[in-house]
Amino acid sequence: MEIKRCTLDCAAHGILPGTDITEALHALLCAHSENTEFVFAPGEYYFSPKFTYDYRLSNTDVLPTRKLGIWMRGMKHITLDFGGSRLYFVGQMQPFTLDGCEDITVRNAVVDWKKPLVAEGIVRDVHMGDTQWVDMYVDPQAFPHEVRDAWLWFDTGNGEWYPLQRGSAIQYDVQTRTVRRDSGDRFNPVSVEDLGNCVYRFHTEDASNVAPGNIFVLRHNDRMHAGAFCEMCRDITFEDITFHSCGGLGCLAQFSENLTYRRVHFLPNVAAGRLISGGRDDGMHITCNRGTVTIEECSFVGLMDDPINVHGCCVTVTRIENARTLVCKYEHPQACGFHYWAQPGDTIGFIERKHMSAVGRAVVAQYTLGETLDSFTVVFEEDLPEDILVAAGQPAALSLDNLTNTVSFICRRNRFGSCRARGVLLSTPKPVRITDNVFASSGAAILVAGDSNFWFESGECHDVEISNNVFTDACLTSVYQFGEGIISICPIVPEPDIRLPFHKNIRIHDNVFDTADTPVVYAYSTAHLTFENNTVFRSPAAEKWTDARGLIRFDHCVNVTARNNRFIGPFSIDRYECTSCEELHLER
pLDDT (tens digit, 9 = 90+) per residue, 461-511? Answer: 999 999 999 999 999 999 999 999 999 999 999 999 999 999 999 999 999
Burial of 76 (0-12, 13-18, 19+ CB in 10 A): middle
Q: What CATH topology corresponds to 118-219? A: Elongation Factor Tu (Ef-tu); domain 3 (2.40.30)
Looking at every residue in the chain, the average pLDDT score rounds to 96
> So what's the pLDDT on residue 458?
82
Q: How confident is the model at residue 1 (pLDDT cuts 50, 70, 90)?
A: low
pLDDT greater than 90 at residue 365: yes
Start-end of H helices in 380-484: 386-392
∠ Cα 18 162 58 (to 5°):
85
CA distance 526 to 560: 9
Q: In whole angstroms, how large is the CA radius of gyration of the chain?
A: 24
CA distance 501 to 483: 20
Percent of the chain clearing pLDDT 90 (strictly above): 94
SS3 assignment, position 387: helix
β pairing state of 102-113 and 66-73? unpaired
Q: How confident is the model at residue 545 (pLDDT cuts 50, 70, 90)?
A: confident
- DSSP-derived letter for residue 533 is S
User: CATH 2.40.30: which residues of the chain?
Assistant: 118-219
User: CATH 2.160.20: which residues of the chain?
Assistant: 406-586
∠ Cα 441 443 449 (to 5°):
105
Residue type, 262: R
The correct answer on CATH 2.160.20 for the domain covering 406-586 is yes
User: CATH 2.40.10: which residues of the chain?
Assistant: 315-402
**CATH, domain range 315-402:** 2.40.10
At residue 521, φ and ψ (nearest 5 deg) are: -140, 135
pLDDT digits (tens, 9 = 90+) for 81-122: 999 999 999 999 999 999 999 999 999 999 999 999 999 999
C-alpha separations of 332 from 230, 231, 316, 396, 452 in Å: 21, 19, 11, 14, 10
pLDDT digits (tens, 9 = 90+) for 301-358: 999 999 999 999 999 999 999 999 999 999 999 999 999 999 999 999 999 999 999 9
